[in-house]
Chains A and B, each alone.
Chain A
């Protein structure tokens, strides 16, 4: 049963860590994206 709790705790920890990392990313550095069909994307 200990592993069930560890698994759930891992799930919460990874989710929180992901949110902190993604919120810290500076998205303004990448404003455009060019695909192979030459569409410039935000």
Chain B
């Protein structure tokens, strides 16, 4: 009986304890809420505005906010004249490097390989374009001395610029530890860079000379349309579309060389004399005015250099590809073509097949000169 009473007593204690525990749960929840609320209130009270760190223990500025702004290119002030030193991290540099070492290098290499494959394919299928009527015994003057000097000044400059430029873009992937030592590659690159800088002026002179002597023959005309439609006669020995001194293909090469060359010269000038030009800001402003493109006009000095670098590389690769095709058709691709810029004299049959209208003009002039009576000695 006594044990029975003890059990009941224990049970009642258990019930009381259970009730007490249960009653504490909502109380603790409430107290936690209150405590949390107090913390929030304290934090809000202590937290200064604009994300600064509360508490004042490690300073009141948030390091993460601070470095985030620096990383985004926040500009500070410096007491030296070079204000660009106020930018610690220039984020556009990442983009510049990614574009230069990515698409520009990658597609440039593939395009160069592509043009070689295309020309090899064309040569394999079509072979050398020969003079259909055979070699004549007569010659005709195609280019004068000054025209040929201009051509070779431009050509020799471009070859050196292309080789030294390609070394800047691809040299590090090809030469060090594979073909030569790192030290030798460094020396070679340094000399090539010096050559690139100064031969650039020879290129500009050559470009100007070629433009002056050939521009009047290179304006588009309606005769270019049938020439283009017939593929310039490149795919058949029997097809010889009419052309004056320069055909549509040569006119295209001429304008690509002139416009591309000017563009290369201008962007190269920016790189030669860094931080002294605003060519891209000005160009973007002009494009915005003409076409409303919304391009950035207030570029920083570093951005100007980065745009110039990317454009110079891409345009250099583009012109190199064009000139590879030009060299092919002017040498092994076509019989009798090289002598035009070599000796200046071309085979008459070659001239009649590729520039018949020009031959007619030249022969007419020669006939008129023969008909004009030479003045006799004064009596």
Interface residues of A (CB under 8 A from B): 1, 3-4, 6-8, 10-12, 14-19, 22, 31-33, 35-37, 39-42
Contact = CB atoms under 8 A, between A and B. Distances in A.
A8 B145 CA distance: 14
Interface in B184-232: 194-195, 197-202, 205-206
B201 A39 contact: no
B153 interface: yes
Q: How large is the interface on B (under 10, 10 to 19, 20 to 34, 35 or more residues)?
A: 35 or more
Contact of B202 (A1, A10, A35, A42): A10
Given A3-B344, A35-B281, A42 B82 contact: yes
A7 B278 contact: no
Nearest to B205: A14
A7 B205 contact: no
Contacts of A22: 198
Contacts of A19: 194, 197-198
Interface string B150-178: 11111111001000000000000000000
Given A1-B343, A31-B81, A14 B149 contact: no
B360 to A, nearest CB: 26
A18 B301 contact: no
Main secondary structure of the interface of A (DSSP, over half): helix
Main secondary structure of the interface of B (DSSP, over half): helix
A29 B157 CA distance: 31
10 contacts: A6-B152, A7-B152, A7-B153, A8-B156, A11-B199, A11-B202, A14-B153, A33-B275, A37-B298, A41-B83
A18 B155 CA distance: 18
Given A36-B281, A41-B83, A11 B276 contact: no
Interface in B295-352: 298-301, 342-344
B198 A7 contact: no
Contacts of B200: 18
Nearest to A20: B198
B240 interface: no
